[in-house]
Amino acid sequence: MIKRVLVTGGAGFLGSHLCERLVKAKQDVICVDNFFTSQKSNIEHLLPEPNFELIRHDITEPLMLEVDEIFNLACPAAPGHYQYNPIKTTKTSVMGAINMLGLAKRTGARIFHASTSEVYGDPDIHPQPETYRGNVNPIGPRACYDEGKRAAETLFFDYHRQNKVQIKVVRIFNTYGPRMHPFDGRVVSNFIRQALCGEPLTIYGDGSQTRSFCYVDDLINGFLSMMESSEDITGPINLGNPGEFTIRQLAEKVIAISGEDVQINVARELPQDDPLQRQPDITLARTLLDWEPTIPLDTGLARTIEWMRSVDISSFRAPTPNY
Protein backbone atom coordinates (compact mmCIF):
# COMPACT_ATOMS: atom_id res chain seq x y z
CA MET A 1 0.00 0.00 0.00
CA ILE A 2 1.32 3.45 -0.92
CA LYS A 3 1.52 5.66 2.15
CA ARG A 4 1.63 9.44 2.34
CA VAL A 5 4.78 10.03 4.39
CA LEU A 6 5.79 13.39 5.84
CA VAL A 7 9.48 13.91 6.66
CA THR A 8 10.23 17.08 8.66
CA GLY A 9 13.84 18.20 8.30
CA GLY A 10 13.74 16.17 5.08
CA ALA A 11 16.38 18.28 3.32
CA GLY A 12 18.94 17.78 6.10
CA PHE A 13 21.70 15.21 6.33
CA LEU A 14 19.65 12.31 7.72
CA GLY A 15 16.35 13.54 6.25
CA SER A 16 17.66 13.55 2.67
CA HIS A 17 18.84 9.93 2.97
CA LEU A 18 15.50 8.94 4.47
CA CYS A 19 13.52 10.73 1.71
CA GLU A 20 15.67 8.98 -0.88
CA ARG A 21 14.88 5.56 0.59
CA LEU A 22 11.15 6.33 0.84
CA VAL A 23 11.00 7.64 -2.73
CA LYS A 24 12.74 4.46 -3.94
CA ALA A 25 10.20 2.41 -1.98
CA LYS A 26 7.48 4.20 -4.02
CA GLN A 27 5.91 5.97 -1.05
CA ASP A 28 4.25 9.35 -1.52
CA VAL A 29 6.85 11.57 0.19
CA ILE A 30 6.33 15.11 1.50
CA CYS A 31 9.54 16.81 2.62
CA VAL A 32 9.13 19.80 4.92
CA ASP A 33 12.14 21.99 5.74
CA ASN A 34 12.95 25.62 6.50
CA PHE A 35 16.55 25.20 5.21
CA PHE A 36 18.09 26.59 8.40
CA THR A 37 20.99 24.13 8.30
CA SER A 38 20.65 22.55 4.88
CA GLN A 39 20.41 23.39 1.23
CA LYS A 40 18.36 22.26 -1.72
CA SER A 41 21.32 20.44 -3.27
CA ASN A 42 20.71 17.61 -0.74
CA ILE A 43 17.36 16.79 -2.33
CA GLU A 44 17.82 18.28 -5.80
CA HIS A 45 17.96 14.80 -7.35
CA LEU A 46 14.56 13.96 -5.82
CA LEU A 47 12.72 17.05 -7.09
CA PRO A 48 11.84 15.58 -10.52
CA GLU A 49 10.33 12.44 -8.94
CA PRO A 50 6.51 12.38 -9.13
CA ASN A 51 6.25 10.85 -5.64
CA PHE A 52 8.37 13.59 -4.00
CA GLU A 53 7.09 16.98 -2.90
CA LEU A 54 8.94 19.79 -1.14
CA ILE A 55 7.34 22.33 1.20
CA ARG A 56 9.35 25.18 2.70
CA HIS A 57 7.86 25.49 6.16
CA ASP A 58 8.97 26.06 9.75
CA ILE A 59 7.55 23.39 12.08
CA THR A 60 7.19 25.84 14.94
CA GLU A 61 4.10 26.92 12.93
CA PRO A 62 1.07 24.60 12.52
CA LEU A 63 0.84 22.55 9.33
CA MET A 64 -2.39 21.19 7.83
CA LEU A 65 -1.84 18.07 5.72
CA GLU A 66 -3.35 14.62 5.29
CA VAL A 67 -0.72 11.96 5.95
CA ASP A 68 -0.37 8.33 7.07
CA GLU A 69 3.10 8.53 8.64
CA ILE A 70 5.31 11.29 10.00
CA PHE A 71 9.08 11.18 10.54
CA ASN A 72 9.90 14.17 12.75
CA LEU A 73 13.57 15.03 12.15
CA ALA A 74 13.52 18.83 11.94
CA CYS A 75 15.98 20.33 14.43
CA PRO A 76 19.50 21.71 14.15
CA ALA A 77 21.76 18.86 15.30
CA ALA A 78 25.37 20.07 15.32
CA PRO A 79 26.46 21.92 18.50
CA GLY A 80 27.49 25.02 16.50
CA HIS A 81 24.12 25.07 14.74
CA TYR A 82 21.90 24.51 17.76
CA GLN A 83 23.83 27.01 19.89
CA TYR A 84 23.58 29.71 17.21
CA ASN A 85 19.98 30.55 18.20
CA PRO A 86 19.35 28.44 21.30
CA ILE A 87 15.84 29.78 21.97
CA LYS A 88 14.79 28.80 18.46
CA THR A 89 16.35 25.35 19.00
CA THR A 90 14.13 24.70 22.02
CA LYS A 91 11.13 26.10 20.15
CA THR A 92 11.78 23.77 17.22
CA SER A 93 12.01 20.73 19.51
CA VAL A 94 9.05 21.59 21.73
CA MET A 95 6.62 23.59 19.54
CA GLY A 96 7.60 21.46 16.55
CA ALA A 97 6.74 18.31 18.52
CA ILE A 98 3.39 19.79 19.61
CA ASN A 99 2.50 20.74 16.02
CA MET A 100 3.52 17.38 14.57
CA LEU A 101 1.85 15.41 17.37
CA GLY A 102 -1.29 17.48 16.80
CA LEU A 103 -1.15 16.56 13.13
CA ALA A 104 -0.69 12.88 14.05
CA LYS A 105 -3.61 13.06 16.47
CA ARG A 106 -5.95 14.64 13.88
CA THR A 107 -4.98 12.34 11.00
CA GLY A 108 -4.35 9.14 13.00
CA ALA A 109 -0.83 9.02 11.51
CA ARG A 110 1.92 7.00 13.14
CA ILE A 111 4.70 9.37 14.20
CA PHE A 112 8.44 8.69 14.50
CA HIS A 113 10.69 11.04 16.47
CA ALA A 114 14.44 11.58 16.11
CA SER A 115 15.59 11.95 19.70
CA THR A 116 19.23 11.81 20.68
CA SER A 117 21.92 10.30 22.88
CA GLU A 118 22.22 13.86 24.25
CA VAL A 119 19.28 13.05 26.54
CA TYR A 120 21.91 11.10 28.53
CA GLY A 121 24.11 14.23 28.85
CA ASP A 122 27.62 13.52 30.13
CA PRO A 123 26.79 9.96 31.20
CA ASP A 124 28.02 8.30 34.37
CA ILE A 125 26.76 4.89 33.19
CA HIS A 126 28.63 3.30 30.30
CA PRO A 127 27.49 2.15 27.78
CA GLN A 128 24.11 3.87 27.95
CA PRO A 129 20.95 1.72 28.04
CA GLU A 130 17.52 3.30 27.47
CA THR A 131 16.72 2.95 31.19
CA TYR A 132 19.49 5.41 32.11
CA ARG A 133 17.92 8.76 32.98
CA GLY A 134 20.89 10.91 32.12
CA ASN A 135 23.16 13.59 33.48
CA VAL A 136 22.19 16.80 31.70
CA ASN A 137 23.10 20.32 32.83
CA PRO A 138 19.74 22.12 32.40
CA ILE A 139 21.30 25.60 32.20
CA GLY A 140 24.44 25.01 30.15
CA PRO A 141 25.13 25.85 26.49
CA ARG A 142 24.01 22.37 25.31
CA ALA A 143 20.73 22.51 27.28
CA CYS A 144 18.68 24.13 24.50
CA TYR A 145 19.17 20.94 22.51
CA ASP A 146 19.36 18.32 25.28
CA GLU A 147 16.43 19.63 27.32
CA GLY A 148 14.46 20.45 24.16
CA LYS A 149 14.80 16.84 23.08
CA ARG A 150 13.93 15.58 26.57
CA ALA A 151 10.78 17.74 26.64
CA ALA A 152 9.87 16.47 23.15
CA GLU A 153 10.15 12.88 24.41
CA THR A 154 7.81 13.79 27.29
CA LEU A 155 5.28 15.21 24.81
CA PHE A 156 5.48 12.09 22.64
CA PHE A 157 4.74 9.81 25.58
CA ASP A 158 1.93 12.05 26.90
CA TYR A 159 0.23 12.20 23.48
CA HIS A 160 0.56 8.42 23.38
CA ARG A 161 -0.96 7.91 26.86
CA GLN A 162 -3.55 10.68 26.68
CA ASN A 163 -4.56 10.63 23.00
CA LYS A 164 -3.52 7.12 21.89
CA VAL A 165 -1.19 8.53 19.23
CA GLN A 166 1.03 5.77 17.78
CA ILE A 167 4.60 6.86 18.56
CA LYS A 168 8.06 5.59 17.61
CA VAL A 169 10.90 7.28 19.50
CA VAL A 170 14.56 6.56 18.73
CA ARG A 171 17.64 7.97 20.44
CA ILE A 172 20.29 8.49 17.77
CA PHE A 173 24.02 8.34 18.57
CA ASN A 174 26.59 10.25 16.46
CA THR A 175 25.94 9.46 12.80
CA TYR A 176 28.05 10.48 9.81
CA GLY A 177 28.18 10.08 6.06
CA PRO A 178 27.77 11.87 2.73
CA ARG A 179 25.74 15.13 2.85
CA MET A 180 26.89 16.14 6.31
CA HIS A 181 27.28 19.89 6.09
CA PRO A 182 31.05 20.48 5.67
CA PHE A 183 30.83 23.53 7.94
CA ASP A 184 28.52 22.13 10.63
CA GLY A 185 31.38 21.96 13.15
CA ARG A 186 30.75 18.29 13.96
CA VAL A 187 33.88 16.30 14.46
CA VAL A 188 33.68 14.04 11.39
CA SER A 189 32.84 16.88 8.99
CA ASN A 190 35.47 19.15 10.54
CA PHE A 191 38.25 16.57 10.38
CA ILE A 192 37.51 15.53 6.79
CA ARG A 193 37.11 19.13 5.57
CA GLN A 194 40.32 20.15 7.33
CA ALA A 195 42.28 17.19 5.92
CA LEU A 196 41.06 17.85 2.37
CA CYS A 197 41.89 21.55 2.69
CA GLY A 198 45.39 20.73 3.99
CA GLU A 199 44.68 22.27 7.41
CA PRO A 200 45.56 20.82 10.84
CA LEU A 201 42.82 18.71 12.45
CA THR A 202 41.49 20.53 15.52
CA ILE A 203 41.16 18.20 18.51
CA TYR A 204 39.30 19.85 21.41
CA GLY A 205 40.64 18.93 24.84
CA ASP A 206 43.24 16.15 24.90
CA GLY A 207 41.32 13.95 22.45
CA SER A 208 40.69 11.17 24.99
CA GLN A 209 36.90 11.77 24.99
CA THR A 210 35.04 9.04 23.13
CA ARG A 211 32.17 8.79 20.67
CA SER A 212 30.58 5.91 18.74
CA PHE A 213 30.05 6.62 15.04
CA CYS A 214 27.28 5.08 12.97
CA TYR A 215 27.24 5.21 9.16
CA VAL A 216 24.11 6.85 7.77
CA ASP A 217 22.86 3.86 5.70
CA ASP A 218 22.86 1.66 8.81
CA LEU A 219 20.92 4.28 10.74
CA ILE A 220 18.25 4.71 8.06
CA ASN A 221 17.71 0.92 8.09
CA GLY A 222 17.03 1.29 11.81
CA PHE A 223 14.55 4.16 11.18
CA LEU A 224 12.59 2.07 8.68
CA SER A 225 12.56 -1.03 10.92
CA MET A 226 11.33 1.08 13.81
CA MET A 227 8.53 2.69 11.78
CA GLU A 228 7.42 -0.73 10.48
CA SER A 229 7.56 -2.44 13.90
CA SER A 230 4.41 -3.48 15.74
CA GLU A 231 2.29 -0.80 17.43
CA ASP A 232 3.32 -1.78 20.98
CA ILE A 233 6.96 -0.86 20.25
CA THR A 234 7.04 2.82 21.18
CA GLY A 235 10.68 3.18 22.21
CA PRO A 236 12.71 4.96 23.25
CA ILE A 237 15.22 2.73 21.47
CA ASN A 238 18.91 3.54 21.04
CA LEU A 239 20.20 3.49 17.45
CA GLY A 240 23.94 3.78 16.97
CA ASN A 241 27.12 1.85 16.35
CA PRO A 242 28.60 0.43 19.58
CA GLY A 243 32.17 0.72 18.23
CA GLU A 244 33.75 3.34 20.52
CA PHE A 245 36.74 5.50 19.52
CA THR A 246 38.63 8.37 21.09
CA ILE A 247 38.58 11.62 19.14
CA ARG A 248 42.34 11.27 18.68
CA GLN A 249 41.84 7.83 17.10
CA LEU A 250 39.26 9.35 14.76
CA ALA A 251 41.70 12.09 13.73
CA GLU A 252 44.40 9.49 13.01
CA LYS A 253 41.98 7.43 10.93
CA VAL A 254 40.89 10.44 8.85
CA ILE A 255 44.53 11.29 8.13
CA ALA A 256 45.41 7.69 7.24
CA ILE A 257 42.35 7.04 5.06
CA SER A 258 42.46 10.39 3.25
CA GLY A 259 46.20 10.06 2.67
CA GLU A 260 46.58 13.80 3.30
CA ASP A 261 49.77 15.11 4.87
CA VAL A 262 48.28 17.15 7.74
CA GLN A 263 49.06 17.67 11.41
CA ILE A 264 46.91 17.39 14.54
CA ASN A 265 46.36 20.54 16.59
CA VAL A 266 45.36 20.18 20.26
CA ALA A 267 45.39 23.85 21.22
CA ARG A 268 41.67 24.29 21.97
CA GLU A 269 39.99 23.48 25.29
CA LEU A 270 37.19 20.95 25.62
CA PRO A 271 33.89 22.88 25.22
CA GLN A 272 31.71 23.25 28.34
CA ASP A 273 29.60 20.16 29.20
CA ASP A 274 31.18 18.18 26.35
CA PRO A 275 30.45 14.51 27.23
CA LEU A 276 33.62 12.56 28.03
CA GLN A 277 32.32 9.24 26.79
CA ARG A 278 29.43 7.92 24.73
CA GLN A 279 28.55 4.43 23.54
CA PRO A 280 25.10 3.00 22.85
CA ASP A 281 23.81 -0.17 24.43
CA ILE A 282 21.81 -1.51 21.44
CA THR A 283 20.48 -4.70 23.05
CA LEU A 284 16.90 -3.41 22.69
CA ALA A 285 17.29 -2.57 18.98
CA ARG A 286 18.86 -5.98 18.35
CA THR A 287 16.06 -7.78 20.20
CA LEU A 288 13.00 -5.79 19.13
CA LEU A 289 14.00 -4.62 15.65
CA ASP A 290 16.54 -7.28 14.70
CA TRP A 291 18.77 -4.31 13.80
CA GLU A 292 22.46 -3.69 14.14
CA PRO A 293 24.98 -1.65 12.17
CA THR A 294 27.11 -3.44 9.58
CA ILE A 295 29.40 -0.77 8.15
CA PRO A 296 32.78 -0.42 9.91
CA LEU A 297 34.14 3.06 10.65
CA ASP A 298 37.00 2.75 8.12
CA THR A 299 34.60 1.91 5.29
CA GLY A 300 32.16 4.66 6.23
CA LEU A 301 34.95 7.23 6.56
CA ALA A 302 36.35 6.27 3.14
CA ARG A 303 32.89 6.80 1.58
CA THR A 304 32.40 10.12 3.36
CA ILE A 305 35.86 11.36 2.35
CA GLU A 306 35.17 10.35 -1.24
CA TRP A 307 31.88 12.27 -1.15
CA MET A 308 33.44 15.44 0.31
CA ARG A 309 36.19 15.29 -2.30
CA SER A 310 33.50 15.17 -5.01
CA VAL A 311 31.62 18.33 -3.94
CA ASP A 312 32.57 21.98 -4.16
CA ILE A 313 32.94 22.82 -0.46
CA SER A 314 32.73 26.56 -1.20
CA SER A 315 29.18 26.06 -2.52
CA PHE A 316 27.96 25.23 0.99
CA ARG A 317 26.52 28.17 2.85
CA ALA A 318 27.99 28.22 6.35
CA PRO A 319 24.84 28.89 8.42
CA THR A 320 26.78 29.80 11.56
CA PRO A 321 30.23 31.09 12.36
CA ASN A 322 30.93 28.01 14.49
CA TYR A 323 33.41 25.98 12.54
Question: Which sequence positions are flagged as catalytic?
Answer: 145
Q: How far apart are CB 69 and ligand NAD at their closest, in Å?
A: 16
- Cα 238 to Cα 240: distance, rounded to the nearest angstrom: 6
274 contributes a contact to ligand UDP by CB under 6 A:
yes
Q: Which of 4, 12, 43, 282 binds ligand NAD (CB under 6 A)?
A: 12
200 contributes a contact to ligand UDP by CB under 6 A:
no
282 contributes a contact to ligand NAD by CB under 6 A:
no
Q: Which of 7, 15, 209, 308 binds ligand NAD (CB under 6 A)?
A: 15
Please name the residues in contact with 29: beta carbons below 8 A apart, sequence gap of 6 or more: 5, 7, 10, 19, 22, 23, 46, 51, 52, 53
Q: What DSSP letter does each residue of 235-251 carry, written as one string?
A: --EEES---EEEHHHHH
CA dihedral 18, 19, 25, 26 (to 10 degrees): 160
Q: Which of 6, 23, 31, 38 binds ligand NAD (CB under 6 A)?
A: 38
76 contributes a contact to ligand NAD by CB under 6 A:
yes
- Cα 279 to Cα 264: distance, rounded to the nearest angstrom: 24
In the list ligand UDP, ligand NAD, none, the entry touching 271 (Cβ below 5 to 8 angstroms by class) is ligand UDP
Please name the residues in contact with 285: beta carbons below 8 A apart, sequence gap of 6 or more: 222, 237, 238, 239, 291, 292
Q: Which of 202, 234, 246, 249 binds ligand UDP (CB under 6 A)?
A: 202
- Cα 53 to Cα 74: distance, rounded to the nearest angstrom: 16
Alpha carbon distances (Å) from 207 to 4, 197, 281 = 45, 21, 23
Q: How far apart are CB 263 and ligand NAD at their closest, in Å?
A: 27
In the list ligand NAD, ligand UDP, none, the entry touching 79 (Cβ below 5 to 8 angstroms by class) is ligand UDP
By the 8 A CB rule, do 172 and 235 touch?
Answer: no
Enumerate residues 28-87 that contact ligand UDP by CB under 6 A: 79
H or E stretch covering 5: strand 4-8
**Residue 15 or 178 with smaller CB distance to ligand NAD:** 15
By the 8 A CB rule, do 8 and 67 touch?
Answer: no
In the list ligand NAD, ligand UDP, none, the entry touching 109 (Cβ below 5 to 8 angstroms by class) is none
247 contributes a contact to ligand NAD by CB under 6 A:
no
Three-state secondary structure call for residue 268: strand
187 contributes a contact to ligand UDP by CB under 6 A:
yes
Which positions lie near ligand UDP, rule CB under 6 A?
Answer: 79, 174, 186-187, 190, 202-204, 209, 211, 247, 270-271, 274
Which positions lie near ligand NAD, rule CB under 6 A?
Answer: 8-9, 11-15, 33-38, 58-60, 73-77, 81, 92, 96, 114, 116, 172, 174-175
